[in-house]
Structure 1
Amino acid sequence: MGFVQELLQLGAAAICSDDPILSVDDLCDQILEVLNYFRLGSVMCMGAMAGAYILTLFAIKYRDRVTGLILVSPLYKAPSWTEWLYNKFMSNLLYYYGMCGLLKECLLQRYFSKEVRGNPEIPESDIVQSCRKLLDERQSVNVWRYLQAIDKRPDITEGLKKLKCRTLIFVGDSSPFHSEALHMTGKLDRRYSALVEVMFTTVSI
Protein backbone atom coordinates (compact mmCIF):
# COMPACT_ATOMS: atom_id res chain seq x y z
CA MET A 1 0.00 0.00 0.00
CA GLY A 2 3.16 2.08 0.39
CA PHE A 3 3.21 5.74 -0.56
CA VAL A 4 -0.53 6.33 -0.94
CA GLN A 5 -1.27 4.99 2.53
CA GLU A 6 1.68 6.83 4.11
CA LEU A 7 0.61 10.11 2.52
CA LEU A 8 -3.15 10.03 3.07
CA GLN A 9 -3.62 8.21 6.34
CA LEU A 10 -4.10 10.40 9.42
CA GLY A 11 -1.29 9.92 11.90
CA ALA A 12 0.98 8.41 9.24
CA ALA A 13 4.72 8.55 9.82
CA ALA A 14 6.93 10.79 7.72
CA ILE A 15 8.32 9.13 4.60
CA CYS A 16 12.01 8.32 4.82
CA SER A 17 14.19 10.91 3.09
CA ASP A 18 16.11 8.09 1.36
CA ASP A 19 13.00 6.86 -0.46
CA PRO A 20 12.85 7.93 -4.11
CA ILE A 21 10.27 10.52 -5.18
CA LEU A 22 7.56 8.69 -7.08
CA SER A 23 5.93 9.70 -10.36
CA VAL A 24 2.20 10.00 -11.02
CA ASP A 25 2.39 6.59 -12.73
CA ASP A 26 3.84 5.14 -9.54
CA LEU A 27 0.95 6.65 -7.56
CA CYS A 28 -1.53 5.01 -9.96
CA ASP A 29 0.14 1.65 -9.52
CA GLN A 30 -0.12 2.03 -5.75
CA ILE A 31 -3.87 2.60 -6.05
CA LEU A 32 -3.98 -0.77 -7.80
CA GLU A 33 -2.06 -2.27 -4.87
CA VAL A 34 -4.66 -0.87 -2.45
CA LEU A 35 -7.54 -2.35 -4.48
CA ASN A 36 -5.83 -5.71 -4.69
CA TYR A 37 -4.97 -5.67 -0.99
CA PHE A 38 -8.64 -5.23 -0.07
CA ARG A 39 -9.71 -7.64 -2.85
CA LEU A 40 -11.80 -5.02 -4.59
CA GLY A 41 -12.80 -5.40 -8.22
CA SER A 42 -14.17 -2.49 -10.25
CA VAL A 43 -14.76 0.62 -8.15
CA MET A 44 -16.27 4.10 -8.30
CA CYS A 45 -13.58 6.75 -7.72
CA MET A 46 -13.85 10.33 -6.49
CA GLY A 47 -11.09 12.93 -6.36
CA ALA A 48 -10.45 16.66 -6.50
CA MET A 49 -7.88 18.64 -8.49
CA ALA A 50 -4.56 16.73 -8.44
CA GLY A 51 -6.34 13.74 -6.90
CA ALA A 52 -8.79 13.82 -9.81
CA TYR A 53 -5.82 13.75 -12.19
CA ILE A 54 -4.35 10.67 -10.49
CA LEU A 55 -7.69 8.83 -10.59
CA THR A 56 -8.26 9.76 -14.25
CA LEU A 57 -4.81 8.43 -15.13
CA PHE A 58 -5.60 5.29 -13.14
CA ALA A 59 -8.85 4.83 -15.10
CA ILE A 60 -6.92 5.20 -18.37
CA LYS A 61 -4.29 2.63 -17.36
CA TYR A 62 -6.62 0.15 -15.66
CA ARG A 63 -9.97 0.54 -17.40
CA ASP A 64 -11.38 -2.74 -16.08
CA ARG A 65 -10.93 -1.58 -12.46
CA VAL A 66 -12.97 1.63 -12.68
CA THR A 67 -16.78 1.71 -12.90
CA GLY A 68 -17.03 5.49 -12.84
CA LEU A 69 -15.31 8.75 -11.95
CA ILE A 70 -16.53 11.72 -9.92
CA LEU A 71 -14.06 14.54 -10.48
CA VAL A 72 -14.04 17.92 -8.73
CA SER A 73 -12.13 20.73 -10.48
CA PRO A 74 -9.99 18.13 -12.29
CA LEU A 75 -6.60 18.62 -13.91
CA TYR A 76 -5.55 16.79 -17.06
CA LYS A 77 -2.79 18.86 -18.64
CA ALA A 78 0.83 19.30 -17.64
CA PRO A 79 1.40 22.23 -15.25
CA SER A 80 1.40 25.69 -16.83
CA TRP A 81 4.29 28.01 -16.03
CA THR A 82 2.02 29.82 -13.57
CA GLU A 83 1.10 26.63 -11.74
CA TRP A 84 4.70 25.39 -11.87
CA LEU A 85 5.94 28.57 -10.19
CA TYR A 86 3.13 28.45 -7.63
CA ASN A 87 3.92 24.83 -6.80
CA LYS A 88 7.61 25.69 -6.46
CA PHE A 89 6.70 28.45 -4.03
CA MET A 90 4.60 26.05 -1.94
CA SER A 91 7.26 23.34 -2.13
CA ASN A 92 9.88 25.76 -0.79
CA LEU A 93 7.56 26.80 2.04
CA LEU A 94 7.04 23.15 2.94
CA TYR A 95 10.72 22.30 2.72
CA TYR A 96 11.95 25.18 4.89
CA TYR A 97 9.00 25.99 7.16
CA GLY A 98 6.71 22.94 7.14
CA MET A 99 2.94 23.33 7.21
CA CYS A 100 3.11 27.02 8.14
CA GLY A 101 0.24 29.49 8.26
CA LEU A 102 1.04 31.06 4.87
CA LEU A 103 1.09 27.67 3.15
CA LYS A 104 -2.26 26.70 4.68
CA GLU A 105 -3.79 29.95 3.44
CA CYS A 106 -2.44 29.29 -0.09
CA LEU A 107 -3.97 25.80 -0.09
CA LEU A 108 -7.31 26.99 1.31
CA GLN A 109 -7.50 29.65 -1.41
CA ARG A 110 -7.14 26.85 -3.95
CA TYR A 111 -9.77 24.66 -2.32
CA PHE A 112 -12.51 27.16 -1.39
CA SER A 113 -14.18 30.31 -2.67
CA LYS A 114 -14.01 33.66 -0.86
CA GLU A 115 -17.57 33.22 0.40
CA VAL A 116 -16.73 29.92 2.11
CA ARG A 117 -13.41 31.17 3.54
CA GLY A 118 -15.21 34.06 5.22
CA ASN A 119 -14.17 37.64 5.97
CA PRO A 120 -14.08 40.03 8.96
CA GLU A 121 -17.89 40.14 8.99
CA ILE A 122 -18.59 36.47 8.20
CA PRO A 123 -16.70 33.63 9.95
CA GLU A 124 -15.16 30.91 7.82
CA SER A 125 -17.35 27.86 7.31
CA ASP A 126 -17.11 24.62 9.28
CA ILE A 127 -15.66 22.78 6.28
CA VAL A 128 -12.80 25.29 5.99
CA GLN A 129 -12.07 24.96 9.70
CA SER A 130 -12.05 21.17 9.36
CA CYS A 131 -9.70 21.35 6.37
CA ARG A 132 -7.38 23.68 8.27
CA LYS A 133 -7.21 21.14 11.10
CA LEU A 134 -6.54 18.27 8.67
CA LEU A 135 -3.66 20.22 7.12
CA ASP A 136 -2.13 20.57 10.59
CA GLU A 137 -2.20 16.78 10.94
CA ARG A 138 -0.38 16.07 7.67
CA GLN A 139 3.33 15.29 7.55
CA SER A 140 5.03 18.17 5.72
CA VAL A 141 7.59 15.91 4.01
CA ASN A 142 4.80 13.66 2.68
CA VAL A 143 2.91 16.61 1.21
CA TRP A 144 6.17 17.94 -0.24
CA ARG A 145 6.82 14.63 -2.01
CA TYR A 146 3.26 14.56 -3.34
CA LEU A 147 3.70 18.05 -4.80
CA GLN A 148 6.95 16.95 -6.45
CA ALA A 149 5.13 14.12 -8.21
CA ILE A 150 2.20 16.29 -9.30
CA ASP A 151 4.53 19.03 -10.55
CA LYS A 152 6.00 16.56 -13.07
CA ARG A 153 2.72 15.18 -14.38
CA PRO A 154 2.37 14.71 -18.15
CA ASP A 155 -0.54 15.81 -20.32
CA ILE A 156 -3.12 12.99 -20.57
CA THR A 157 -5.36 14.55 -23.23
CA GLU A 158 -4.95 11.66 -25.65
CA GLY A 159 -5.78 9.13 -22.96
CA LEU A 160 -9.13 10.83 -22.24
CA LYS A 161 -10.43 9.50 -25.55
CA LYS A 162 -9.96 5.94 -24.26
CA LEU A 163 -12.16 6.44 -21.19
CA LYS A 164 -15.42 4.50 -21.39
CA CYS A 165 -16.46 4.68 -17.75
CA ARG A 166 -19.16 7.10 -16.60
CA THR A 167 -17.54 10.41 -15.67
CA LEU A 168 -19.19 13.23 -13.73
CA ILE A 169 -17.27 16.51 -13.41
CA PHE A 170 -18.09 19.19 -10.82
CA VAL A 171 -16.56 22.67 -10.96
CA GLY A 172 -17.42 26.01 -9.38
CA ASP A 173 -18.06 28.96 -11.67
CA SER A 174 -15.35 30.95 -9.85
CA SER A 175 -12.89 28.05 -9.52
CA PRO A 176 -9.34 28.71 -10.80
CA PHE A 177 -9.70 25.35 -12.58
CA HIS A 178 -13.00 26.25 -14.30
CA SER A 179 -11.60 26.59 -17.83
CA GLU A 180 -9.59 23.38 -17.55
CA ALA A 181 -12.69 21.46 -16.40
CA LEU A 182 -14.63 22.78 -19.40
CA HIS A 183 -11.84 21.81 -21.78
CA MET A 184 -11.56 18.36 -20.23
CA THR A 185 -15.29 17.78 -20.66
CA GLY A 186 -14.92 18.61 -24.34
CA LYS A 187 -12.26 15.90 -24.72
CA LEU A 188 -14.40 13.15 -23.16
CA ASP A 189 -16.96 11.00 -24.95
CA ARG A 190 -20.27 12.82 -24.39
CA ARG A 191 -22.12 9.50 -24.18
CA TYR A 192 -20.37 8.71 -20.92
CA SER A 193 -19.66 12.11 -19.36
CA ALA A 194 -21.46 15.10 -17.86
CA LEU A 195 -20.46 18.47 -16.41
CA VAL A 196 -22.08 20.15 -13.40
CA GLU A 197 -21.20 23.81 -12.92
CA VAL A 198 -21.82 25.00 -9.36
CA MET A 199 -22.88 28.64 -9.13
CA PHE A 200 -21.99 30.65 -6.03
CA THR A 201 -23.99 33.70 -4.98
CA THR A 202 -23.64 36.04 -2.03
CA VAL A 203 -26.82 36.91 -0.13
CA SER A 204 -26.89 40.15 1.89
CA ILE A 205 -29.26 40.40 4.86
Structure 2
Amino acid sequence: MSTVLDVEQNACTGDAVEHDIETPHGVLHVTMRGTPKGNRPVILTYHDIGLNHKSCFNTLFNFEDMMEITQHFAVVHVDAPGQQEGAPPFPTGVNSVIGIGVGAGAYILTCFALNQPSLVEGLVLINVDPCAEGWIDWAASKLTGWTSNLVDIVMAHHFSTEELTDNQELIQTYRLHIAQDINQDNLALFCGSYNARQDLGIERPVVGLNENTVKTLTCPSLLVVGDTSPAVEAVVECNSRLNPTKTTLLKMADCGGLPQVVQPGKLAEAFKYFVQGMGYSENLRHDRSRTKSGFSRA
Protein backbone atom coordinates (compact mmCIF):
# COMPACT_ATOMS: atom_id res chain seq x y z
CA MET A 1 0.00 0.00 0.00
CA SER A 2 2.91 2.33 0.63
CA THR A 3 3.60 2.44 -3.11
CA VAL A 4 0.11 3.51 -4.16
CA LEU A 5 0.92 7.19 -4.56
CA ASP A 6 4.31 6.63 -6.20
CA VAL A 7 2.94 4.10 -8.69
CA GLU A 8 -0.05 6.22 -9.59
CA GLN A 9 1.87 9.46 -9.84
CA ASN A 10 4.09 7.86 -12.47
CA ALA A 11 1.14 6.41 -14.37
CA CYS A 12 -0.45 9.64 -15.62
CA THR A 13 2.34 10.74 -17.93
CA GLY A 14 1.76 9.91 -21.59
CA ASP A 15 0.74 13.05 -23.45
CA ALA A 16 0.69 15.23 -20.33
CA VAL A 17 2.29 18.67 -20.70
CA GLU A 18 3.12 20.73 -17.61
CA HIS A 19 2.92 24.52 -17.47
CA ASP A 20 3.71 27.13 -14.82
CA ILE A 21 1.13 29.86 -15.32
CA GLU A 22 1.79 33.33 -13.91
CA THR A 23 -1.31 35.10 -12.62
CA PRO A 24 -1.83 38.34 -10.66
CA HIS A 25 -2.32 36.15 -7.58
CA GLY A 26 0.66 33.82 -7.94
CA VAL A 27 1.94 30.98 -10.11
CA LEU A 28 -0.30 28.03 -10.97
CA HIS A 29 1.19 24.68 -11.89
CA VAL A 30 -1.02 23.23 -14.63
CA THR A 31 -0.89 19.81 -16.28
CA MET A 32 -2.74 19.38 -19.57
CA ARG A 33 -3.55 16.02 -21.17
CA GLY A 34 -4.79 15.96 -24.76
CA THR A 35 -5.95 18.91 -26.84
CA PRO A 36 -9.33 20.66 -26.86
CA LYS A 37 -11.70 18.80 -29.15
CA GLY A 38 -13.96 21.04 -31.21
CA ASN A 39 -16.58 22.78 -29.11
CA ARG A 40 -16.40 20.24 -26.30
CA PRO A 41 -15.58 21.58 -22.82
CA VAL A 42 -12.31 20.77 -21.14
CA ILE A 43 -12.39 18.74 -17.91
CA LEU A 44 -10.85 21.03 -15.26
CA THR A 45 -9.82 19.61 -11.87
CA TYR A 46 -8.77 21.27 -8.63
CA HIS A 47 -7.50 19.22 -5.69
CA ASP A 48 -8.17 19.50 -1.97
CA ILE A 49 -5.92 20.71 0.85
CA GLY A 50 -2.88 18.56 1.58
CA LEU A 51 -2.95 16.93 -1.86
CA ASN A 52 -1.86 17.74 -5.39
CA HIS A 53 -3.55 16.80 -8.65
CA LYS A 54 -1.72 13.48 -8.78
CA SER A 55 -2.49 12.21 -5.29
CA CYS A 56 -6.05 13.54 -5.48
CA PHE A 57 -7.11 12.43 -8.97
CA ASN A 58 -4.73 9.82 -10.46
CA THR A 59 -6.66 6.84 -9.07
CA LEU A 60 -9.85 8.11 -10.69
CA PHE A 61 -8.33 9.18 -14.01
CA ASN A 62 -6.30 5.95 -14.33
CA PHE A 63 -9.44 3.86 -13.89
CA GLU A 64 -10.44 2.09 -17.12
CA ASP A 65 -13.92 3.62 -17.37
CA MET A 66 -12.55 7.10 -16.77
CA MET A 67 -9.78 6.66 -19.34
CA GLU A 68 -12.48 5.79 -21.86
CA ILE A 69 -14.28 9.04 -21.06
CA THR A 70 -11.15 11.18 -21.30
CA GLN A 71 -10.52 9.98 -24.84
CA HIS A 72 -13.31 12.40 -25.73
CA PHE A 73 -12.11 15.40 -23.68
CA ALA A 74 -8.94 17.33 -22.96
CA VAL A 75 -8.10 17.40 -19.24
CA VAL A 76 -6.51 20.28 -17.32
CA HIS A 77 -5.29 19.59 -13.77
CA VAL A 78 -4.61 22.73 -11.71
CA ASP A 79 -2.34 22.60 -8.68
CA ALA A 80 -2.71 25.29 -6.03
CA PRO A 81 -0.21 28.17 -6.27
CA GLY A 82 3.31 26.84 -5.70
CA GLN A 83 6.81 28.15 -6.16
CA GLN A 84 7.61 27.72 -9.85
CA GLU A 85 8.50 30.76 -11.98
CA GLY A 86 9.00 31.53 -15.67
CA ALA A 87 5.65 30.24 -16.90
CA PRO A 88 4.96 29.70 -20.61
CA PRO A 89 1.77 31.05 -22.19
CA PHE A 90 -1.39 29.21 -21.23
CA PRO A 91 -2.51 26.81 -24.00
CA THR A 92 -5.17 28.33 -26.24
CA GLY A 93 -8.42 26.86 -27.47
CA VAL A 94 -10.25 26.36 -24.16
CA ASN A 95 -13.78 27.70 -24.52
CA SER A 96 -15.55 26.06 -21.59
CA VAL A 97 -14.96 23.48 -18.87
CA ILE A 98 -16.54 20.66 -16.93
CA GLY A 99 -15.10 21.11 -13.43
CA ILE A 100 -14.18 18.31 -11.02
CA GLY A 101 -13.22 19.60 -7.58
CA VAL A 102 -12.65 18.08 -4.15
CA GLY A 103 -13.07 19.99 -0.89
CA ALA A 104 -11.26 23.30 -1.26
CA GLY A 105 -11.03 22.64 -5.00
CA ALA A 106 -14.80 22.16 -5.17
CA TYR A 107 -15.31 25.48 -3.37
CA ILE A 108 -12.94 27.25 -5.78
CA LEU A 109 -14.59 25.80 -8.89
CA THR A 110 -18.02 26.75 -7.52
CA CYS A 111 -16.82 30.33 -7.09
CA PHE A 112 -15.51 30.23 -10.65
CA ALA A 113 -18.87 28.97 -11.95
CA LEU A 114 -20.75 31.66 -10.03
CA ASN A 115 -18.48 34.39 -11.40
CA GLN A 116 -18.09 33.04 -14.94
CA PRO A 117 -21.19 30.92 -15.65
CA SER A 118 -20.73 31.08 -19.42
CA LEU A 119 -17.39 29.24 -19.12
CA VAL A 120 -18.65 26.31 -17.02
CA GLU A 121 -20.86 23.66 -18.61
CA GLY A 122 -20.99 21.34 -15.61
CA LEU A 123 -19.55 20.69 -12.16
CA VAL A 124 -18.70 17.54 -10.21
CA LEU A 125 -18.27 18.72 -6.62
CA ILE A 126 -16.83 16.21 -4.15
CA ASN A 127 -17.05 17.13 -0.44
CA VAL A 128 -18.08 20.70 -1.26
CA ASP A 129 -18.80 23.05 1.66
CA PRO A 130 -20.65 26.28 0.73
CA CYS A 131 -20.47 27.69 4.25
CA ALA A 132 -18.01 30.15 5.75
CA GLU A 133 -17.48 28.40 9.06
CA GLY A 134 -13.88 27.27 9.42
CA TRP A 135 -13.11 23.58 9.52
CA ILE A 136 -9.82 23.93 11.37
CA ASP A 137 -11.41 24.51 14.78
CA TRP A 138 -13.94 21.76 14.06
CA ALA A 139 -11.22 19.34 13.02
CA ALA A 140 -9.08 20.16 16.04
CA SER A 141 -12.05 19.47 18.32
CA LYS A 142 -12.22 15.94 16.88
CA LEU A 143 -8.60 15.21 17.73
CA THR A 144 -9.02 14.36 21.40
CA GLY A 145 -5.85 12.68 22.55
CA TRP A 146 -3.92 13.70 19.43
CA THR A 147 -1.23 16.29 19.00
CA SER A 148 -3.12 18.83 16.94
CA ASN A 149 -0.43 19.63 14.39
CA LEU A 150 -1.20 20.68 10.84
CA VAL A 151 -0.96 17.18 9.39
CA ASP A 152 -3.42 15.81 11.97
CA ILE A 153 -5.88 18.62 11.26
CA VAL A 154 -5.70 18.06 7.50
CA MET A 155 -6.18 14.32 8.02
CA ALA A 156 -9.32 15.02 10.05
CA HIS A 157 -10.51 17.21 7.18
CA HIS A 158 -10.18 14.31 4.76
CA PHE A 159 -11.16 11.29 6.84
CA SER A 160 -13.87 10.32 9.31
CA THR A 161 -13.01 9.14 12.82
CA GLU A 162 -13.81 5.59 11.72
CA GLU A 163 -11.44 5.78 8.78
CA LEU A 164 -8.67 7.24 10.91
CA THR A 165 -8.84 4.20 13.19
CA ASP A 166 -9.96 1.39 10.86
CA ASN A 167 -8.15 1.93 7.55
CA GLN A 168 -4.56 2.12 8.69
CA GLU A 169 -2.90 1.44 5.32
CA LEU A 170 -4.79 4.22 3.57
CA ILE A 171 -4.30 6.60 6.48
CA GLN A 172 -0.57 5.96 6.73
CA THR A 173 -0.10 6.45 2.99
CA TYR A 174 -1.82 9.84 2.99
CA ARG A 175 -0.30 10.94 6.29
CA LEU A 176 3.17 10.40 4.86
CA HIS A 177 2.22 12.10 1.60
CA ILE A 178 0.84 15.18 3.35
CA ALA A 179 3.76 15.36 5.78
CA GLN A 180 6.60 14.66 3.35
CA ASP A 181 5.50 15.56 -0.18
CA ILE A 182 3.60 18.80 0.43
CA ASN A 183 5.52 21.94 1.40
CA GLN A 184 4.35 22.57 4.96
CA ASP A 185 4.62 26.36 4.82
CA ASN A 186 2.54 26.46 1.64
CA LEU A 187 0.08 23.99 3.14
CA ALA A 188 -0.37 26.23 6.19
CA LEU A 189 -1.09 29.19 3.91
CA PHE A 190 -3.56 27.15 1.84
CA CYS A 191 -5.30 25.98 5.02
CA GLY A 192 -5.49 29.51 6.36
CA SER A 193 -6.92 30.80 3.10
CA TYR A 194 -9.56 28.07 2.95
CA ASN A 195 -10.46 28.52 6.60
CA ALA A 196 -11.05 32.24 5.94
CA ARG A 197 -13.36 31.60 2.99
CA GLN A 198 -16.65 33.44 2.65
CA ASP A 199 -20.05 31.82 2.50
CA LEU A 200 -20.92 31.27 -1.15
CA GLY A 201 -24.29 32.93 -0.57
CA ILE A 202 -26.11 30.56 -2.90
CA GLU A 203 -29.87 30.04 -2.59
CA ARG A 204 -32.34 27.59 -4.06
CA PRO A 205 -34.40 29.38 -6.73
CA VAL A 206 -38.19 29.48 -6.40
CA VAL A 207 -40.07 29.22 -9.69
CA GLY A 208 -42.09 32.34 -10.37
CA LEU A 209 -40.41 34.27 -7.57
CA ASN A 210 -36.66 34.67 -7.88
CA GLU A 211 -35.31 32.15 -10.38
CA ASN A 212 -33.83 34.96 -12.50
CA THR A 213 -32.31 36.97 -9.65
CA VAL A 214 -31.17 34.50 -7.00
CA LYS A 215 -27.46 33.65 -6.72
CA THR A 216 -27.06 29.99 -7.62
CA LEU A 217 -25.33 27.63 -10.01
CA THR A 218 -26.88 27.58 -13.45
CA CYS A 219 -24.97 24.58 -14.83
CA PRO A 220 -25.71 20.89 -14.20
CA SER A 221 -24.04 19.84 -10.96
CA LEU A 222 -23.23 16.44 -9.46
CA LEU A 223 -22.56 16.58 -5.71
CA VAL A 224 -20.61 13.58 -4.39
CA VAL A 225 -19.87 12.52 -0.82
CA GLY A 226 -19.09 9.26 0.95
CA ASP A 227 -21.68 8.22 3.50
CA THR A 228 -19.10 8.30 6.32
CA SER A 229 -17.24 11.40 5.11
CA PRO A 230 -16.71 14.35 7.47
CA ALA A 231 -18.27 16.48 4.71
CA VAL A 232 -21.70 14.79 4.62
CA GLU A 233 -23.59 17.58 6.39
CA ALA A 234 -21.92 20.30 4.31
CA VAL A 235 -22.70 18.54 1.02
CA VAL A 236 -26.33 17.97 2.01
CA GLU A 237 -26.54 21.66 2.94
CA CYS A 238 -25.12 22.63 -0.44
CA ASN A 239 -27.63 20.40 -2.19
CA SER A 240 -30.48 22.12 -0.33
CA ARG A 241 -29.32 25.49 -1.71
CA LEU A 242 -29.15 24.51 -5.39
CA ASN A 243 -31.71 24.17 -8.15
CA PRO A 244 -33.07 20.60 -7.82
CA THR A 245 -33.71 20.41 -11.58
CA LYS A 246 -30.00 20.89 -12.28
CA THR A 247 -28.47 19.14 -9.27
CA THR A 248 -27.89 15.48 -8.40
CA LEU A 249 -26.67 14.31 -4.99
CA LEU A 250 -24.67 11.07 -4.96
CA LYS A 251 -24.04 9.72 -1.46
CA MET A 252 -21.71 6.76 -1.95
CA ALA A 253 -22.29 3.81 0.36
CA ASP A 254 -19.41 2.24 2.29
CA CYS A 255 -17.22 5.20 1.43
CA GLY A 256 -15.43 7.86 3.45
CA GLY A 257 -13.68 11.10 2.66
CA LEU A 258 -11.90 10.24 -0.61
CA PRO A 259 -14.46 8.59 -2.92
CA GLN A 260 -12.30 9.32 -5.96
CA VAL A 261 -9.58 7.16 -4.41
CA VAL A 262 -11.54 4.43 -2.62
CA GLN A 263 -14.31 3.91 -5.18
CA PRO A 264 -13.04 5.28 -8.52
CA GLY A 265 -15.16 2.82 -10.51
CA LYS A 266 -18.45 3.99 -9.05
CA LEU A 267 -17.45 7.62 -9.46
CA ALA A 268 -16.32 7.08 -13.05
CA GLU A 269 -19.66 5.43 -13.84
CA ALA A 270 -21.53 8.36 -12.30
CA PHE A 271 -19.39 10.82 -14.27
CA LYS A 272 -20.11 8.89 -17.46
CA TYR A 273 -23.86 9.28 -16.94
CA PHE A 274 -23.31 12.94 -16.03
CA VAL A 275 -21.50 13.86 -19.25
CA GLN A 276 -23.94 11.81 -21.30
CA GLY A 277 -26.77 13.77 -19.71
CA MET A 278 -25.04 16.91 -20.95
CA GLY A 279 -25.03 15.51 -24.48
CA TYR A 280 -21.41 14.33 -24.65
CA SER A 281 -19.80 10.92 -25.15
CA GLU A 282 -22.97 9.33 -26.45
CA ASN A 283 -21.12 6.13 -27.42
CA LEU A 284 -19.55 5.47 -24.03
CA ARG A 285 -20.53 2.09 -22.68
CA HIS A 286 -21.62 1.35 -19.12
CA ASP A 287 -19.93 -1.68 -17.59
CA ARG A 288 -20.89 -2.20 -13.98
CA SER A 289 -18.56 -5.18 -13.70
CA ARG A 290 -15.63 -2.76 -13.40
CA THR A 291 -17.02 -0.51 -10.66
CA LYS A 292 -15.49 -2.30 -7.68
CA SER A 293 -13.77 -0.32 -4.97
CA GLY A 294 -10.00 -0.28 -4.88
CA PHE A 295 -6.86 1.45 -6.06
CA SER A 296 -5.87 1.68 -9.71
CA ARG A 297 -2.24 0.72 -10.26
CA ALA A 298 -2.28 0.79 -14.06
TM-score category of the 2 structures, normalised to the smaller one: 0.5 to 0.7
In structure 2, relative to structure 1, the CA distance for the partners of 1:159 and 1:187 (3 Å cut) is: closer
Amino acid in the other structure paired with 2:28: Q
In structure 2, relative to structure 1, the CA distance for the partners of 1:101 and 1:4 (3 Å cut) is: farther
Deviations 1:34-72 (A, max 9, x none): 9x8222221111111121111101110011111111111
Moved more, 183-192 or 146-155: 146-155
Deviations 1:133-188 (A, max 9, x none): 43221112211221222122111123774311111011122222211211111111
Q: How far apart are the structure 2 equivalents of 1:123 and 1:77?
A: 30
Where relative contact order (Cα < 8 A, 6+ residues apart) is larger, the structure is 1
| Residue in structure 2 matched with residue 77 of structure 1 by the alignment | 131
2:121 is paired with a residue of what secondary structure?
A: strand
Pick from 64, 68, 74 the counterpart of residue 122 of structure 2: 68
Verify the 8 A CA contact 2:158 2:230 in the aligned structure 1. Answer: no
1:124 lines up with 2:178 in the alignment: no
In structure 2, relative to structure 1, the CA distance for the partners of 1:4 and 1:70 (3 Å cut) is: farther
Matches within 5 A, 1:37-186: 37-39=90-92, 40-80=94-134, 83=135, 85-86=137-138, 102-113=149-160, 116-117=163-164, 119=166, 123-125=168-170, 128-135=171-178, 136-158=180-202, 161-186=215-240
Q: How far apart are the structure 2 equivalents of 1:186 and 1:141?
A: 36
| Alignment RMSD | 3.4
Verify the 8 A CA contact 2:159 2:230 in the aligned structure 1. Answer: no
Higher share in helix: 1
Q: How far apart are the structure 1 equivalents of 2:136 and 2:152?
A: 18
In structure 2, relative to structure 1, the CA distance for the partners of 1:184 and 1:146 (3 Å cut) is: same
In structure 2, relative to structure 1, the CA distance for the partners of 1:14 and 1:142 (3 Å cut) is: farther
For structure 1, the 5+ residue unaligned runs are: 16-33, 90-99
Identity over aligned pairs, percent? 24
- TM-score, normalization: structure 1? 0.65
Q: How far apart are the structure 1 equivalents of 2:157 and 2:188?
A: 16
| Residue in structure 1 matched with residue 28 of structure 2 by the alignment | 5
Amino acid in the other structure paired with 2:174: C
Amino acid in the other structure paired with 1:105: D
Q: Compute the displacement of 1:102 (Å).
A: 4.3
Verify the 8 A CA contact 1:171 1:181 in the aligned structure 2. Answer: yes
Q: How far apart are the structure 1 equivalents of 2:160 and 2:192?
A: 25
- TM-score, normalization: structure 2? 0.47
In structure 2, relative to structure 1, the CA distance for the partners of 1:133 and 1:84 (3 Å cut) is: closer
In structure 2, relative to structure 1, the CA distance for the partners of 1:41 and 1:133 (3 Å cut) is: farther
Runs of 4+ in structure 1 deviating by more than 6 angstroms, as ranges, are: none
Q: How far apart are the structure 2 equivalents of 1:4 and 1:57?
A: 19
Q: Compute the displacement of 1:117 (Å).
A: 4.4
Amino acid in the other structure paired with 2:156: Q
Q: How far apart are the structure 1 equivalents of 2:164 and 2:230?
A: 15
Structure 1 or 2, whichever has the larger Rg, is 2
For structure 2, the 5+ residue unaligned runs are: 1-20, 30-48, 53-78, 141-146, 205-214, 256-298
